[in-house]
Structure 1
Amino acid sequence: MEHIQYPNESAEYRAARNALLDDEIALRAQIEAVAAKRRALPPGGEVPEDYVFEWIGKTSMPEKVRMSELFGPHDTLILYSFMYGPERELPCPGCTHLLDGIEGAARHIGERAALHIVAKSPIARLAAWAHERGWEHLSLLSTAGNSYDADYFGDTSKFSKGMRTQHRVPDGDNWDETIFNVFRKKNGAIRHFWGSEMSFAPPASNQHHRAGDLADPLWGLLDMTPEGRGDFFPKVNYD
């Protein structure tokens, strides 16, 4: 196919690049086909309760807020489970770098859907971390005291025995997990729409699960480079 050419490139490079472009176009079509199947999912299960979260409200003081209130003017709610429970000295570096990227998108997503970040730590601790990190557009909520994480796999407490074995969760032990969950409100009822369940699918050999890659600019940028991702994994801080 006819396409652009860069200065001084060889015929060998252009032939290989055009073949790769065919694959990239096919991948684009596959991504859209998967998104269409996602949009066509039948109604998910009704949320078992109107969970109560804690957040820093307009008064700059901790306030209680119900899940039904988080939608704001929208019918769609995205909740991301952030691995920063009270037992962690620092939050998960994978979650943190992802939220660094989503921080920029958060000012735009609110035009189409509600987005909130949930974690098990007390709200004051979450607010302090957001301030330290420079997150000005992300809305953080504390799940301390409710069962949202357990019910929607923001932790391992309701993993089946098989999942506990697969993910090496010892009996009697649990920890927080990363997952996106999307909810829809219609006719007064809130139903689960979709979750990033690939977080818990067996990963390909020598790969991270990649469940949140489509929302993660870091990995997309590294995939453009000659070195690729390699064995790099982000840190909370680089000293």
Structure 2
Amino acid sequence: MNIQNHPVVSREEWLAARKQHLAHEKAFTKERDRLSAERRALPWVKIDKDYHFQGPDGELKLADLFGGRSQLVIYHFMFADGWDEGCPGCSFLSDHIDGANQHLAHHDVSVVAVSHAPFAQFQAFKRRMGWKFDWVSSEGCDFNYDFGVTARPEDVAAGRATYNYEKTYGSEEELPGLSVFYRNDTGEIFHTYSTYARGLDLLVGTYNYLDLTPKGRNEDEIMDWVRHHDRYEDKAPTSCCHGG
């Protein structure tokens, strides 16, 4: 719709249109609740592999990432070995984590970012961004490969790489995602959910604001306007690293 030629009506006509749209919003809310319940009812997979991570105090196991809670959300942050800074799209999403964590940490949920690069490589970038959330490295284990966010170069070259549960023909070896785990009272860990690409939109509060505005997201390609939050005064936009 051309925003410059948008229809302008009386308050009474606007109210009638708004009430009609409200009915659609309520239907969407009910469908979202149904979908969320279906997600929670998905079967689980028990984690038997001995994954290990590197944090500020040395090696960690997957169980350590729970921080004493029973639920763990891992954001698969795109940061590969040799990179100087993180993916702009992952950074955009990660700007929303600390605010949510003020509440999630008190509701039996831990949120941890995991990247494939060595731990030391992303510390300067984390400080630059001012983030407080836990961020660890999965260097040296199969975690990123097993959860579908890092592709081996030979698989990319041979066209065997997959992303978001289907074959991908892109050349990226690092991509974003989110995985959820549950730890029971006996210490067993289960993988309950993973999502990728536009399934991550729900975590980006900025998009929820934009979706309420007349211009909406106002982008030609997903996140084509997004920059690291300290780079918005730059003349040239940074490139986005993933789409849907």
User: Normalization by structure 1: what TM-score?
Assistant: 0.81
Secondary structure of the 2:35 match is: helix
C-alpha deviation, 1:50, in angstroms: 2.6
- Measured after TM superposition, the shift of residue 166 of structure 1 is 4.5
What does the per-residue CA deviation read over 1:27-72, in whole Å, with 9 as the maximum and x for residues that have no partner?
A: 1111111111111222x22223231101113xxxxx1111112112
In the alignment, which residue of structure 2 is the partner of 1:156? Answer: 151
What is the distance in 2 between the residues matched to 1:115 and 1:64? 18
**1:135: how far off?**
0.6
1:86 maps to 81
Instruction: Name the count of aligned residue pairs.
Output: 211
Letter in 1 for 2:49: E
Equivalent residue, structure 1, for 2:227: 235
1-structure distance, mates of 2:99, 2:127: 15
Say if 1:94 and 1:234, in contact at 8 Å, map to a contact too: yes
**1:163/1:120 CA distance change after superposition, 3 Å:** closer
Contact 1:53-1:143 at 8 Å conserved across structures: yes
Map of 1:30 onto structure 2:
31
Contact kept in structure 1, 2:118 and 2:137, CA below 8 Å: yes
Query: Which residue does 2:129 correspond to in 1?
Result: 133
Please state if 1:226 is matched with 2:214: yes
Distance 2:160 2:209 in 1: 37
State the superposition RMSD in angstroms: 2.2
2:47 corresponds to: 47
- 1:31 counterpart letter in structure 2: R
Do the aligned residues in 1 keep the contact of 2:53 with 2:62 (CA within 8 Å)?
A: yes
Helix, strand or coil: the match of 2:216? coil
Please tell me whether the aligned partners of residues 84 and 121 of structure 2 are also in contact (alpha carbons under 8 angstroms).
no
Percent identity at matched positions?
27
Q: TM-score, normalised by structure 2?
A: 0.79
Provide structure 2 residue ranges, at least 5 long, that are not aligned to the other structure: 1-8, 235-244
Q: Deviations over 1:133-162 (max 9, x none)?
A: 0112x1000111111000111213378838
Superposed CA deviations along residues 175-221 of structure 1, whole A, max 9, x for unmatched, are 1111110011123321111111xx2xxxxxxxxx4211211101111
* Native 8 Å contact 1:56 1:127 kept in 2: no
The worse-fitting range, judged by mean Cα deviation, of 141-150 and 122-131 is 122-131
Aligned twin of 2:4 = none
